[in-house]
Each structure stands twice: as structure tokens, then as C-alpha cells.
Amino acid sequence: MALKIITADERLSAARNKTTIALFGASGHGKTWQLRTLPPAETLCLDLEAGMKSVQDWPGVSVPIRTFTDALDIACLIGGVDPAASPDAFFSEAHHAHVAGLYPDLARVIAERSIIFVDSITDLTRQAMAWAKARPEAFSDKTGKPDTRGAYGLLAREVIGLLKHLQHAPGKTVIFVGILERVTDEFNRTTWQPQMEGGKAARELPGIVDQVVTMSFFSAESDPGSATGIGNWRHDPEKGGHRRFVCRAGNPFGLPAKDRSGRLDVTEPADLGALLSKINLNPAHKG
């Protein structure tokens, strides 16, 4: 691949045409429902958890994925050829030619879509773990017995490689949906973290994507200056009546978030389509 100079105008145009987002929320909070806020004709849902019941009448297309090798194949179709991949590696020219020949209709659908909705990254890592445990790297060379460290190492390498490959998908906005879990330590301190197999992939994901967004329930305060000092919203995951997106790092709720666009408030309405529009505003209209 030849080196190429990218002008400022080209860079701004590319930024408006693609965004990578990790959207986390507790089970049952309506993450998959966010598909309804995205344009059906432009969106492809990768269904890894057989969880389309809440959007069964959504008019867009979806692809059920039940194995990690299927996930690798479709990621290759979405992201294209990785010029740094060795000839026999995933995402190589040979891999891409194989899957493009095997799934021509799927390749056409992908080419026509600009938004990829991955539901969910939690199940992606579970499928990756099942795959890794069956690989030679997951067994000791000396004893032939299962080697858990080898399986986790393989899982981390391949999942991170898949995420980065989708990150570089030309002209595609990629949304990774994942479960957020509450963790309470022995000192009764509560933190929130993504539910994923393998700590390394979970730690690296925020550095791979442009935006990290947490969806949770909030209660409206009568006094805007009370509680958090962030508008009139109080984090109330058990009894809150309002879904909100938390979008900025260092938020007072202690929820995972990051905003590379610089255009989002600490919390935003729980509307993924509207959030994408705000992120991708023309800089001249930045408000």
C-alpha cells in the first residue's frame, strides 16, 4: 500500500462519514432497541446474541453470527484487506478473496451499508473464548493439558485484532454494543465495567473507538443545582424513569465514557441516531 498525503478537507470529510462507538448498558436497558433510531436502509445488524426480539419488526437487515470464525469472516468483508497481514492470516488478501467468493450477496449488502451495529461485543468475546479453548495454543506443549493462560492470550490477540480491523473499515460507522455490569469490592465500593471475556480486550477497547457511551436510567431532580450539578439528572439505575446516555470521561456518575468529538454534553438523550448526527455535525455549525 503506497503512502498517501491526506488533506484537511479529506480528513474532515472522512471524519463525518465514519465513527466508532462502544455503547454499554445493563441487561434489559434497551440497547438493541437503539436500532430503531438508525436508518434501516443504511444499517446492518450483526446479531451475536439472538436478541432481536425487541426489534423483530425493525425493517433493516441482520446477520446471525454463532461462531467466532463467522465473526472473523464478516469482519474481513466489512474492513477489507489488511495490508499488514501475512498471507495466511485473518484479514489477508487470501482471506478476503475466500469470504468474498463464499458470500457474494453478503458482500453486496455490506457495500451498500454505512452503519454496522454489532450486538453484542459481550457475546463476541464469549464466542472467541470457546474458539480459543479449542486451538493448539490453548494446550500445554509439555503435558497436552488445557492451558487457560494460552487461551486468554489468544482471545485477547484475535478479538483486539478484529476490533481494530473494524475500526479501520472505510466509510463505515461501527457501533459495538455491550453489557455493563456493577462490581462491588470487599470495601463495598461500586464500579461499573464492560462485561467481556478477557480483561485485556476490555481495557483496550476504549482506546480503539472514538466514543464510549453508557446508557442508564436517571431520575429528574426538581432542583437543577442539586445532586450531581450536571443539569437536573441523578443516576438512578434501579428506579429511574429516564434513559440517558453518559458521554464524557470523568463524569460524576462513575460510568465509562469518552468523547473524542468534543461535541457532546455529559449526558445526552438516549437516541443513538440523534447522537451520531450531533457527533458528525459540520465543524462550521458546531454548537
> Does a structural domain hold residue 203?
no
Residue 1 scores a pLDDT above 60: no
> Does a structural domain hold residue 57?
yes
State the pLDDT at residue 6: 67
Q: 3-class DSSP state for residue 176?
A: strand
> Does a structural domain hold residue 19?
no
CB 240 within 8 A of CB 52: no
> Does a structural domain hold residue 194?
no
Over the stretch 184-197, which tens digit does the pLDDT of each residue have? 888 888 888 899 99
State the pLDDT at residue 229: 39
42 CB-side CA count, 13 A: 13
Q: How confident is the model at residue 16 (pLDDT cuts 50, 70, 90)?
A: low
* Cα–Cα dist 204/258, whole Å: 13
What end-to-end distance do the CA atoms of the chain give, in Å?
Answer: 38
* Cα–Cα dist 213/109, whole Å: 27
- For the chain, the average pLDDT equals 88
State the pLDDT at residue 231: 67
> Does a structural domain hold residue 168?
yes
Residue owning grid cell 443504511: 42
Over the stretch 139-159, which tens digit does the pLDDT of each residue have? 888 888 888 889 999 999 999
Handedness of CA 164, 104, 69, 215 (dihedral sign): positive
Q: How confident is the model at residue 2 (pLDDT cuts 50, 70, 90)?
A: low
**Residue 45 belongs to domain spanning:** 38-178
> Does a structural domain hold residue 149?
yes
* Cα–Cα dist 105/102, whole Å: 9
- Lowest mean pLDDT, pick from 37-46, 84-93, 191-200, 225-234: 225-234
Number of domains in the chain: 1
Q: What does the DSSP 8-state code read for residue 57? A: T
* Cα–Cα dist 96/79, whole Å: 9
Residue 52 scores a pLDDT above 90: no
Over the stretch 96-136, which tens digit does the pLDDT of each residue have? 999 999 999 999 999 999 999 999 899 999 999 999 999 99
Over the stretch 23-37, which tens digit does the pLDDT of each residue have? 999 988 899 999 999
Helices in 228-270 by DSSP H: which ranges? none
> Does a structural domain hold residue 217?
no
**Phi/psi at 248 (nearest 5 deg)?**
-120, 140
Task: Report how far apart, in Å, the C-alpha atoms of 1 and of each of 4, 82, 165, 172 are.
Answer: 9, 10, 16, 20
More confident: 148 or 174: 174
State the pLDDT at residue 281: 78
State the pLDDT at residue 132: 95
Show Cβ contacts of residue 19 under 8 Å, excluding neighbours closer than 6 positions.
173, 210, 211, 261, 276, 279, 280
> Does a structural domain hold residue 172?
yes
